Amino acid sequence: MSDVVQTQRDGAVLTVVINRPERRNALNADVARGIVAALDAAEADREVRCIVLSGAGDKAFCAGGDLQPAADGSPFTIDAADPKHYVADLLRRMDACRLPLIAKLNGHALAGGLGLVSACDVVVAREDALLGVSEVKVGLFPMMILPYLLRTIPYRLMMELCLTGEPITAADGVADRLVNYAVPAAELDAKTAWLANRIATKSPTGIRLGKQGLNRIREMGTDAALEYAQFMLANMARTEDAREGFAAFAGKRAPNWTGQ
C-alpha cells in the first residue's frame, strides 16, 4: 500500500486514510492509486464488509486537487495519447465497489474532496467541517465530479455551491441529506463505528447485489429499470444469504450470513 494511503482493519470494517496532512490530504495520482488498491484488497478479503474513507489529521478530509506550486500529479492535465484521468478512474472504481463506502469527514471536503464524498454511500462528518467546490475562484468549474454531485446534492444547492464557490458546513448539509450525520468532533469516531457496525452486520450478499443493481438502475429509464429489478430480486431470493435471512426471521433468531 502507498505511504500516502494507509489502511487499518478492525473486525469487518476496513478504514482507508488519505495520509497527506501537510497538503490537506489533496488528491494526486498516488492517492488515487492507493485508494483503488485498498478497495481491491478489501473486496478480495471476504471478512471485510464495510469500508470507511477518511483523511489524516483534523484539518481536512480532502482539499481536492493539489494547487500548490510544483505539486505532483496535477489533476488539471491529461495525456492526449492515453486520455485516462486518474480522478475519473478513481470515481469509477468507487462507484463499482461492491462493499458499502462510508465517508468519515474528519475535516473539510472541498472540490475533488467533495467528489469523493459524493461517490461514497453514506457520510458521517464533524459538524464544523466545510463542504464545497471552490473551482470558480480559480477560473474553473468542478467538471470531473459533476456526475456525482448531481446524484447527491439538490440541484439548486449544487448550483449555488458551484457558482459562488462558497462552502456550507456539514451541520447545514444534513437538512439536504448531503450528510447523513453531523456530530461534534469528539463524537466522530464513535458515530462512524456505530454506523459501520450497523452495516457490517447485515447480509453481505444482499448489499453486494443491491449495490450492483442500483448502479445499473440509476442509468435506466423507468420501464427498463422495473424489468431489470424483478429479475434481480428473483435471483437474490435464491442466494444462501436470502434463505438464511428468511429462516432466521421465521425462527426469531439472528442470521448467520455466509456471504453466498
Residue 95 C-alpha cell reads as 462507484
135 catalytic residue (yes or no): yes
Interior/surface letters 51-61, b for 16+ CB within 10 angstroms, e for the rest: bbbbbbbeebb
**Maximum Cα interatomic distance, the chain, rounded to a whole number of Å:** 63
Task: Count other Cβ atoms within 10 Å, centred on residue 253.
Answer: 9
CA distance linking residue 71 with residue 225, whole number of Å: 44
**List of E strands, 13-169:** 13-18, 50-55, 60-62, 101-105, 108-110, 122-126, 130-132, 168-169
**List of E strands, the chain:** 5-10, 13-18, 50-55, 60-62, 101-105, 108-110, 122-126, 130-132, 168-169, 181-183
In angstroms, what CA-CA distances link 46 with 42, 99, 201, 208, 211?
8, 10, 14, 12, 17
Q: Which of 190, 95, 194 is nearest to 152 (CA)?
A: 95
Task: Write down the catalytic residue from 22, 43, 47, 135.
Answer: 135
User: Which are the catalytic amino acids?
Assistant: 135
